[in-house]
Amino acid sequence: MKIQRIEAIPYAIPYTHPLRFASGEVHTADHVLVRVHTDAGIIGTADAPPRPYTYGETQKSIIAVVQDVFAPQLVGLEITDRAKVRAVLDRTINNQVAKGAVDIAVWDAIGQLLGISVHKLLGGYTDSLRVSHMLGFRPAQELLEDALRFGAEYGVSTFKLKVGRRPLELDVEACRVLREGLGENVEIYLDANRGWSANEAMEVLRRTEGLGLSLFEEPCDAKEAMSRRRLVDRSPIPIVADESAPTAGDASRELLSGGANAICIKTARSGFTEALEILGLCTGLGVDVTMGNQIDTQVGSLATLAFGAAFEATSRRAAELSNFLDMSDDLLADPIRIRDGRIMVRSLPGVGAEIDEEKLAFYRQDQSTTHTV
Ligand code: MUC
Ligand code: MG
């Protein structure tokens, strides 16, 4: 079964609640749906969320690199030859999200060809993941109300708080209000998206001592190598590399140089193939991993779920799977449900992301019937 053509379809779905964080904010899911068509009629699907403030990719750049650079080299390859696909993608530097989507779509097609879910194909460790919900910049009291609502409605008891604001007291106060309002049994961890310097992050650790925070993600830019190493050495909680570790090479550099002692895996920017390498590196070195969210739609979240639930190490911690709740709609035909704080994997062949074609026709931006948001 050979790759016949690759589509990169731009679409836009507005958010009901914009998400704000130290490196940017999102109001619209202006993503790209990548479809890898095969000569047997099987179509592999994946979602690509452009994050210019994180990787420099835009909706237009993802479409261009998929259509003009990757597709001409991939058409004609056997869909099962993942290492050949990987070698082609590797010939182009950067463009992590575009590469991730092509890789996931290829795995999706292979799963469909074999009649098996990608979750099983990868490892099939467990059938559900606990959900961690991401809280963007808001006044402390609103954050608490949000967290209580997610707890009551969905049974979620793990929250990632976006921090990195100045003055840093704003975020220290938010941590205090959340801990007091949520009690001791709720897990809270931080993600500063490089908003602070390493020394500011150290000060935050000092001021939040005793609040039982579990992890601190990208406290500062990883380029602050010396101060960040000092922070990692002195921190009582793991320092997680997220955007500083999109590839296995980046993850090994951060871990071996002492810039991090835990890694956030995101299928949206690593695909399944490179996420596997990152996971192997982390389990080999004995460091924790988290399953992160690239502010994914339900289509993207299903890929995270398939990977995260496939292995013991990735299913130990709650996975970030609920950003889609901030979006007004989605392309997934059968919506994801969060019950008792968990999402169940799908047993459909491939990743299981069946697309609602009417919705895609409505939200896509590349046809004359385009709906603009
Ligand atoms: C995260 O964990 O950082 C925000 C920016 C981005 O690239 O991903 C999100 C979530
Ligand atoms: Mg992060």
189 lines ligand 1 (CB under 6 A): no
Its domain, for residue 93, covers: 3-115+353-372
Closest ligand 1 atom number to CA of residue 323: 10
Q: Are residues 66 and 164 in the same domain?
A: no
Residue type, 281: L
- How many domains does the chain fold into? 2
Q: Are residues 64 and 151 in the same domain?
A: no
Closest ligand 1 atom number to CA of residue 193: 3
Give residue 367's pLDDT. 85
165 lines ligand 1 (CB under 6 A): no
296 lines ligand 1 (CB under 6 A): no
Reported as a pLDDT band with limits 50, 70 and 90, residue 45 is: very high
Give residue 368's pLDDT. 62
Give residue 88's pLDDT. 98
248 lines ligand 1 (CB under 6 A): no
Q: Are residues 62 and 126 in the same domain?
A: no
Q: Are residues 45 and 178 in the same domain?
A: no
Q: Are residues 85 and 230 in the same domain?
A: no
| Average pLDDT estimate for 293-298 | 98
- From ligand 2's centre to the CA of 116, what distance in Å? 31
CATH of the domain at 50: 3.30.390.10
Query: Which residue has its alpha carbon closest to ligand 1 atom 4?
Result: 294
- From ligand 1's centre to the CA of 24, what distance in Å? 9
Q: Are residues 93 and 193 in the same domain?
A: no
Reported as a pLDDT band with limits 50, 70 and 90, residue 247 is: very high
- From ligand 1's centre to the CA of 80, what distance in Å? 31
Report pLDDT digits (tens) over 249-258: 999 999 999 9
Residue type, 198: A
Q: Are residues 169 and 316 in the same domain?
A: yes
- From ligand 1's centre to the CA of 296, what distance in Å? 10
Closest ligand 1 atom number to CA of residue 21: 4
- From ligand 1's centre to the CA of 218, what distance in Å? 10
Q: Are residues 324 and 359 in the same domain?
A: no
| Average pLDDT estimate for 273-291 | 98
Q: Are residues 175 and 101 in the same domain?
A: no
Q: Are residues 329 and 281 in the same domain?
A: yes
CATH of the domain at 271: 3.20.20.120
295 lines ligand 1 (CB under 6 A): yes
Q: Are residues 300 and 181 in the same domain?
A: yes
Q: Are residues 162 and 79 in the same domain?
A: no
Neighbours of 163 (CB within 10 A): 28
Reported as a pLDDT band with limits 50, 70 and 90, residue 370 is: very low
Query: Which residue has its alpha carbon closest to ligand 1 atom 8?
Result: 294
Query: Which residue has its alpha carbon closest to ligand 1 atom 6?
Result: 294
User: Active-site positions?
Assistant: 162, 191, 217, 242, 266, 294
